[in-house]
Structure 1
């Protein structure tokens, strides 16, 4: 082998070795870059997932907050409307009571309630009161029922109030008491269970 051949051989071996080392280094660099890229993607996905979760939770909170505010607003409007309807209803009830008091049936009803009070009292003394507005019916009812009647000093819209002192009983068939009890206990029920 001549010197030139040796040099050529040395050159080829050196170049081959350099090429192999270069490729090995390049391969390691590519692997490192690939690993860094994978780690970077994983970190970004974790961060994006965390960010997405955080944004989702914030959005849910905002939606719930808006929902609660709207529900409260609806409840207030509903309550206000119910109150208006309740007032209208009880004005109508009062008007119907007044209409009933002007009818002949009212006299019959009063007579029934007076007779009930007399039955409960039995032989005991009973004081039966009419409201001042029913003073014109006093004599007629007293004659029909065969008992003296009194006019109450306190108006009670209509009806009868009876006191049996011996039995310590108050019989209250007054429209005022019935009206106020109904107004106090009245509740708007609705929905499938109450239709």
Structure 2
């Protein structure tokens, strides 16, 4: 019986060893399969995260660019409004100074000089126009032959308008026209550029 028990013990040990080896092989295969699937899942998840990150980064960049563009447009509009306000205030002061000049003693001599120069530039048959209030100041001005001097109360501040229909010439030498002609120069040279 002893021998039989020994053989049976060896047989059981052999079966146990085979079972343990089979279990170890199954466990190793299971861990390898799990690790392989985990690696594939990690790679897939990392790729998805990378795509999502790129998409969100691009979306955030686009949103930031749009917001920056809107802020620049708003800043330009604000600066343009301030620039226009400064220009309007400057030209309102200049207009007031021109009105003061037109009411001063120096205006008569200036107006007579301008009338003679304008009449000469327009030539024979020139038609000059001045404010009704300025006509007495122009009585002693020598005009070319056929030139006429009339009243034009559309001239607001002072100065003259002239035309020579025969030559197809017209001139607006009013103080208001001279002031208006300075707008573009003022905006270009006053240091009020809008660079944003």
Q: Work out whether the TM-score is over 0.5.
A: yes
Asked if 2 retains the 8 angstrom alpha-carbon contact of 1:130 and 1:160, the reply is yes
CA distance in 2, matches of 1:80, 1:118: 41
Q: Indicate the SS of the match to 2:125.
A: coil
**Structure 2 length normalisation: TM-score?**
0.77
* 1:57 aligned partner: 58
CA distance in 1, matches of 2:58, 2:32: 38
Q: How does 1:98-137 map to 2 (within 5 A)?
A: 98-122=99-123, 124-137=124-137
* 2:49 aligned partner: 48
> Any unmatched runs of 5+ in structure 2?
none
Shift, 1:185, TM fit: 7.8
Q: Is the alpha carbon distance of 1:168 and 1:48 closer, same or farther for their aligned partners in structure 2, counting shifts above 3 Å?
A: closer
Asked if 2 retains the 8 angstrom alpha-carbon contact of 1:133 and 1:155, the reply is no
Instruction: Give the length in aligned residue pairs.
Output: 187
Q: Deviations over 1:53-104 (max 9, x none)?
A: 3332332343234334333332332233233222212211201211222344
Q: Indicate the SS of the match to 1:155.
A: coil
Q: Indicate the SS of the match to 2:166.
A: helix
Asked if 2 retains the 8 angstrom alpha-carbon contact of 1:129 and 1:161, the reply is yes
When structure 1 is superposed on structure 2, of 164-173 and 35-44 the one drifting more is 164-173
**Root mean square deviation, CA, Å:** 2.9
CA distance in 2, matches of 1:13, 1:167: 130
Asked if 2 retains the 8 angstrom alpha-carbon contact of 1:159 and 1:175, the reply is yes
Shift, 1:26, TM fit: 0.8
Shift, 1:17, TM fit: 1.7
* 2:178 aligned partner: 178
Asked if 2 retains the 8 angstrom alpha-carbon contact of 1:130 and 1:149, the reply is no
**Structure 1 length normalisation: TM-score?**
0.77
